[in-house]
């Protein structure tokens, strides 16, 4: 017997009847963001739909007979019992070293109609088997469904509260009008029926289903009152979120003294967030399997580096624990100018699991808020320590005790604190100035000696012992600050596993993509203009008309205008700067070989290719070291006035990768992309009374909604634009390759092609070019 598996649920949800599957999609998934569904009911289908309306139209046009099975079944059934579904919860096997014994047991309920449905999704909107598979609906189900609808409008579509209240008011009014209409129809029907009965024999209506008008009115009144209660005020709505979606409000951190004006930050315990994430076995299994696969790969080939575990600092990490990575940064919620530019500037702390499979690293679902406060609070060292105190306490407890989820004991370890250079120096207790003194947090190079060729290759690195000794000297005599670049004790000094010299890796996004790369590009273009190879207007024309490929379209950089060249600055995001840096030889192919200093670009390009590699090979470290030294020397020769401190940071990336693992696992790219959510919330809500509390509360509502609807790490395969392949598309050599691989096949019948294909969250596109170098 064929079955239908829901691709949108956290785990496989199987249906034997298509009409049940279609009703599940309609009730649970039709309003989800990023909806996509592929019809596989017949061999002629296979078309994917990005909207529910398009998918529904296709079903009603081509497969309506599948939906009629429900009516046929209803006609042959006099009465259905309450428990007419079967739920079997399967728990995948998990590595015994990482997890304890699984306490969950398989539960099997008997069927009345011989329908078997396997439901492993514990986060659906309607998680009751009665509500998903029966026609029985209660007021509680309606309340939960409507609360989910309002939550989605607020947190995914960013509609303001006034708009959602207007929607609720209209729906309540619509129900009132329906009641009036039903009452009028009933009166007309009764009058007509009485007239017919007086003149002739009454028609036998024993087969008709009749419901009293009073029952209909009472039911609709209950629905209307439930809708009105949900959106009556914010307090009621929050209570419904707590009841139906496990919403947990953020905790307050009071950072001011008792006799001072009240100042607060807000904090979301990491252990509670992790418990919500791993509530589904599917998510936990994926993370654990990824760790196991990496450990097996490094056991076979010890030269590979996948994560922080494979770096020299990762030797202290327990192999059976999951890695927690922290991130900190300041964000501006608005863009004012003048004295008010820092009025709504927030300090954000995020965390993510470093052991998430690689195909999910580009997604933002795996990034979670830990705490936030106004940035001005951190200017006071006492208030800053009060702000970080509950974070440190919670993370230390998590590392020492772990958490128990569904009978599984999970262990966690802190790995690194990711931040840009300014935030890293603030957290680590280093000086915040990069234009004087000892500006590097990894070595003792001074600003005056940063470009000396001898020091570039023999700089003395900072050690834990030396650093702690300097911290003690500064603490004993604050007048010595800054001492060798150190201004005091780190804000995370009490965090288990943290040290200022071993827990603050470099960030290649700020050092390369927003640092050295645009400097080299602008300098090369200005040199080309000075050599009369290109004019500023021609540079702008080439960047405007260049045909970017499919995978570069989303990161298409803005054109380099004349004012950008005059200001010596590229106005673009980090990903756009990376795009233009990679495509620089293609955009300016006509003059690339005529620029004398092009060697600087070539060396930097090879360095960037290596530091972006995942996984990284240890045998590449000496090559990277030589390239970095050569790049520094080329910069001194060709662009001596452009030797900014980030040129020195580039020189250290061989040691950074050796200590922390692949540099790409420690960059800020995806974390900074997550800032856009909070900026949109602030601008849409237009609420600046208590911004930290508002942002933390809205974030928690969003997380409770997403975790109630689907798993965070869901893989899917999808083909778009499917059609048959013609024989003349392949030459004889390609045909022979296909036969050698698949055996004897009919190309016209057995092979199909598609314009776009998604496999394990990776997109493959026709005419998309993927390059790889072989030695």
Helix spans in 200-266 (H): 213-230, 234-245
Order of strands across the sheet that contains 762-765: 718-720, 756-759, 762-765
Reference 500, options 471, 459, 476; nearest CA is 471
pLDDT of residue 215: 80
pLDDT of residue 599: 96
Question: Strand pairing partners for 5?
Answer: 14
pLDDT of residue 333: 86
Cα-based distances in Å from 537 to 258, 526, 586, 589:
62, 12, 18, 17
pLDDT of residue 208: 57
Helices (H) and strands (E) in the chain, counts: 29, 18
Q: How far apart are CA 413 and CA 137, in angstroms?
A: 45
Neighbours of 482 (CB within 10 A): 18
Q: How far apart are CA 24 and CA 126, in angstroms?
A: 9
The DSSP 8-state label assigned to residue 211 in this structure reads: -
Whether the predicted model's global pTM rises above the 0.75 cut: yes
| Cβ contacts of 759-764, under 8 Å, gap ≥ 24 | 759/717, 760/359, 760/715, 760/717, 761/359, 761/360, 761/363, 761/715, 761/716, 762/359, 763/551
Please check whether residue 667 is in contact with residue 611, taking contact to mean a CB–CB distance below 8 angstroms: no
Reference 16, options 108, 111, 105; nearest CA is 111
Q: How far apart are CA 562 and CA 112, in angstroms?
A: 75
Q: How far apart are CA 310 and CA 663, in angstroms?
A: 12
pLDDT of residue 194: 65
Q: How far apart are CA 265 and CA 322, in angstroms?
A: 27
pLDDT of residue 155: 81
Residue ranges of the chain with per-residue pLDDT less than 70: 1-2, 10-12, 31, 33, 43-44, 68-136, 188-209, 335-343, 453-458, 710-712, 769-775
Question: Strand pairing partners for 403?
Answer: 410
Question: Strand pairing partners for 251?
Answer: 267
Reference 251, options 681, 697, 679; nearest CA is 697
Q: How far apart are CA 170 and CA 159, in angstroms?
A: 16
- Cα dihedral sign for 519, 525, 526, 531? positive
pLDDT of residue 8: 74
Q: How far apart are CA 333 and CA 345, in angstroms?
A: 6
pLDDT of residue 80: 31
Please check whether residue 703 is in contact with residue 146, taking contact to mean a CB–CB distance below 8 angstroms: no
Please check whether residue 146 is in contact with residue 226, taking contact to mean a CB–CB distance below 8 angstroms: yes
pLDDT of residue 453: 66
The pair of structure tokens assigned to 747 is 């190309």
Q: How far apart are CA 275 and CA 258, in angstroms?
A: 34
Peptide bond into 482 cis (omega under 30): yes
Reference 133, options 46, 48, 231, 28; nearest CA is 28
pLDDT of residue 745: 81
Residue position matching structure tokens 């598996």: 5
Q: Specify whether the backbone of 483 is left (phi greater than 0), alpha (psi in -120 to 50) or beta.
A: beta
């Amino acid at each position: 017997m064929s079955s239908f598996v829901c691709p949108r649920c956290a785990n496989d949800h199987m249906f034997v009847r298509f009409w049940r599957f279609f009703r599940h999609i309609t009730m649970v998934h039709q309003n989800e963001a990023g909806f996509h569904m592929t019809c596989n009911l017949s061999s002629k289908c296979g078309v994917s739909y990005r909207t529910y309306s398009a998918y529904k139209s296709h079903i009603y046009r081509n497969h309506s007979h599948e939906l009629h099975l429900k009516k046929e079944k209803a006609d042959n059934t006099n009465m259905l019992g309450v428990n007419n579904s079967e739920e079997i919860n399967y728990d995948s096997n998990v590595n015994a070293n990482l997890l304890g014994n699984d306490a969950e047991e398989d539960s099997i309920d008997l069927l009345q109609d011989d329908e078997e449905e396997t439901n492993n999704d514990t986060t659906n909107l309607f998680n009751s088997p009665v509500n998903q598979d029966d026609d029985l609906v209660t007021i509680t189900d309606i309340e939960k469904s409507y609360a989910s609808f309002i939550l989605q409008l607020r947190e995914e579509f960013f509609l303001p509260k006034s708009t959602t209240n207007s929607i609720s008011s209209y729906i309540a009014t619509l129900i009132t009008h329906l009641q009036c209409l039903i009452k009028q129809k009933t009166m007309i029907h009764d009058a007509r029926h009485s007239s017919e009965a007086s003149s002739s024999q009454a028609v036998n209506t024993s087969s008709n289903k009749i419901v009293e008008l009073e029952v209909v009115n009472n039911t609709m009144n209950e629905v209307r009152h439930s809708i009105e209660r949900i959106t009556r005020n914010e307090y009621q709505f929050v209570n419904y979120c707590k009841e139906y979606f496990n919403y947990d409000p953020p905790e307050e951190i009071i950072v001011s003294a008792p006799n001072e004006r009240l100042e607060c930050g807000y904090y979301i315990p990491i252990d509670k967030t992790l418990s919500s994430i791993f509530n589904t076995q599917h998510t936990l299994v994926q993370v654990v399997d990824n760790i196991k696969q990496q450990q097996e790969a490094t056991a076979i080939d010890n030269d590979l580096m996948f994560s922080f575990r494979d770096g020299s600092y990762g030797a202290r990490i327990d192999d059976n624990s999951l890695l927690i990575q922290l991130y900190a940064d300041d964000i501006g919620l608005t863009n004012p100018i003048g004295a008010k530019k820092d009025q709504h500037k927030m300090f954000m702390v995020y965390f993510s699991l470093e052991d998430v499979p690689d195909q999910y690293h580009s997604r933002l679902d795996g990034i979670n808020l830990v705490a936030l406060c106004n940035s001005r609070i951190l200017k006071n060292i006492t208030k800053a320590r009060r702000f970080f105190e509950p974070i440190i306490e919670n993370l230390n407890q998590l590392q020492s005790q772990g958490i128990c989820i569904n009978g599984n004991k999970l262990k966690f370890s802190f790995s690194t604190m990711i931040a840009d250079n300014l935030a890293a120096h603030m957290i680590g207790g280093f000086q915040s100035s990069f234009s004087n003194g000892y500006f590097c947090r990894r070595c003792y190079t001074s600003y005056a000696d940063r470009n000396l060729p001898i020091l570039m290759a023999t700089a003395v690195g900072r050690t834990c012992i030396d650093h702690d000794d300097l911290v003690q000297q500064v603490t004993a005599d604050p007048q010595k600050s800054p001492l060798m670049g150190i201004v005091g004790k780190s804000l995370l000094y009490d965090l288990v596993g943290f040290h200022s010299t071993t827990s603050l890796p470099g960030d290649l996004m700020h050092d390369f993509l927003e640092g050295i790369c645009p400097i080299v590009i602008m300098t090369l273009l200005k040199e080309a203009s000075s050599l009369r190879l290109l004019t500023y207007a021609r540079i702008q024309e080439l960047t405007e008309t260049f045909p970017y490929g499919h995978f570069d379209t989303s990161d298409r950089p803005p054109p380099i205008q004349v004012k950008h060249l005059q200001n010596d600055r590229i106005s673009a995001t980090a990903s756009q700067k990376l795009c233009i840096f990679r495509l620089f030889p293609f955009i300016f192919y006509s003059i690339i070989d005529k620029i004398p200093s092009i060697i600087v670009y070539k060396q930097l390009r090879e360095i960037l290719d290596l530091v972006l590699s995942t996984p990284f090979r240890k045998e590449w470290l000496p090559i990277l070291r030589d390239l970095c030294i050569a790049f520094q020397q080329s910069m001194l020769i060709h662009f001596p006035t452009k030797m900014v401190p980030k040129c020195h940071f580039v020189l250290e990336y061989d040691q950074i990768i050796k200590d922390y693992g692949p540099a790409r696992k420690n960059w800020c790219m995806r974390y900074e992309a997550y800032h856009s959510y909070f900026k949109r919330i602030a601008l849409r809500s237009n609420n600046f009374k208590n911004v930290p509390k508002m942002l933390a509360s809205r974030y928690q509502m969003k997380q409770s909604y997403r975790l109630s609807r689907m798993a965070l790490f869901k893989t899917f395969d999808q083909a778009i634009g499917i059609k048959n392949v013609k024989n003349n598309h392949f030459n004889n050599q390609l045909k022979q390759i296909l036969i050698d691989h698949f055996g004897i096949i009919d190309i016209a019948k057995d092979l199909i092609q598609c314009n776009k294909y998604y496999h394990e969250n990776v997109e493959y596109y026709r005419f998309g070019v993927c390059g790889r170098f072989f030695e």
